[in-house]
A and B are shown apart, each in its own frame.
Chain A
Amino acid sequence: MKIAIIQFGGTNCDMDVLHVLKDVVGVDAETVWYKEESLTGFDGVVVPGGFSYGDYLRAGAIAARTPIMDSVKKIAAEGKPVLGICNGFQILTEARLLEGALTTNEYPKFRCHWTNLRVETANTPFTSKFRKGEVIRLPIAHMEGKFYAEEPTLAELDENEQVVFRYVDEKGRATDKANPNGSLENIAGIVNTSRNILGLMPHPERASESILGSDDGRRVFESMADYITENF
């Protein structure tokens, strides 16, 4: 098994993801520069966080239109797991691999702190190691993290159980106060209809070892690795 971690100009969470995959989870992973056009030999992809191309135009807009994204689309079409974290989530929505859009936080400020998240479904390749309804802790660090989609899309996301994580308070309630960016319906992460593409604003790689304050994020990568082992 080998997982590709895509690097664009301005990506800055790539080495953290590489460390977690190789040293914490113990699977083979490699960074891939965006100019590489092929992802042959890889069984999964992580699009990590950062500020690709300075987030000019809109966060993720330019990265989404680079040739390597065609290879990411190909991998996704093969049913292999694709995980987009923070800027990676923005890139996946801009590439139309995921529904909706990420836009400026309701209070237009960079927010960087811990959040509580409720796991809405364990039925994805990224959350099989969680329990539905479980409250976990992952940090956020973003200015354009407000999830937005029009009403019919939101209803479809709910209906198909595509919402994977919601911002909640410590008791697991999706309140306005627990919502750090004004995301509609407190949405922090969604999957596509085939469930093999996950985008989330919080950073699981920054919470994969208990010394960092939480190791809840590790299970996202472990679930992904298990899924690859079982299916590819």
Chain B
Amino acid sequence: MQYQATVTIEQKAGMLDPEGTTAKRALGHLGYAVESVKTAKLYELVLEAESAEVAKQKVDEMCQKLIANPIIHNYTIELKELK
């Protein structure tokens, strides 16, 4: 089976998000009142696996080993069956 995994990498709670803070400030300069801005990074992966469970496990491994840095990031994985 082929799956598409969408991985979202976010800063851990309590960590500053300087890009988000800067965007919020800039939006303020443009006259938009925004309560908060949070930035995240998104990776879209397409991979073959025998089941959704295996696919998710593989992507989780990739996140732990490379895509995220567990010291500073949280991540979520969403899986979609392609064919």
Contacts and interface: CB of A to CB of B under 8 A. Distances in A.
Interface of A: 57-58, 61, 65, 94, 100-101, 103-108, 148-150, 182
A105 B18 contact: yes
B19 A65 contact: no
Given A104-B19, A106-B18, A148-B15, A57 B71 contact: no
A120 to B, nearest CB: 22
A107 B71 contact: no
B72 A57 contact: no
B22 interface: yes
Contact of B71 (A104, A108, A150): A150
A105 B71 CA distance: 16
A101 B72 contact: yes
B15, B67, B71 — which one has the most chain A CB atoms within 10 A of its CB? B71
Given A105-B18, A108-B18, A182-B16, 9 more contacts: A61-B66, A65-B65, A65-B66, A101-B72, A103-B11, A103-B72, A148-B72, A149-B71, A150-B71
Contacts, number: 30
B25 to A, nearest CB: 11
Interface residues of B, number: 12
Interface string B44-83: 0000000000000000000001110101100000000000
A131 B69 CA distance: 35
B50 to A, nearest CB: 26
Contacts of B19: 104, 108
A179 to B, nearest CB: 13
B27 to A, nearest CB: 15
4 tightest Cβ-Cβ pairs between the two chains A and B: A108-B18, A101-B71, A101-B72, A104-B18
11 contacts: A57-B66, A94-B69, A103-B11, A103-B72, A108-B19, A108-B22, A148-B71, A148-B72, A149-B71, A150-B71, A182-B16
A100 B18 contact: no
Contacts of A100: 71
A148 B17 CA distance: 13
B69 A58 contact: yes
A61 B16 contact: no
A108 B21 CA distance: 9
Interface in B1-55: 11, 15-16, 18-19, 22
B79 to A, nearest CB: 21
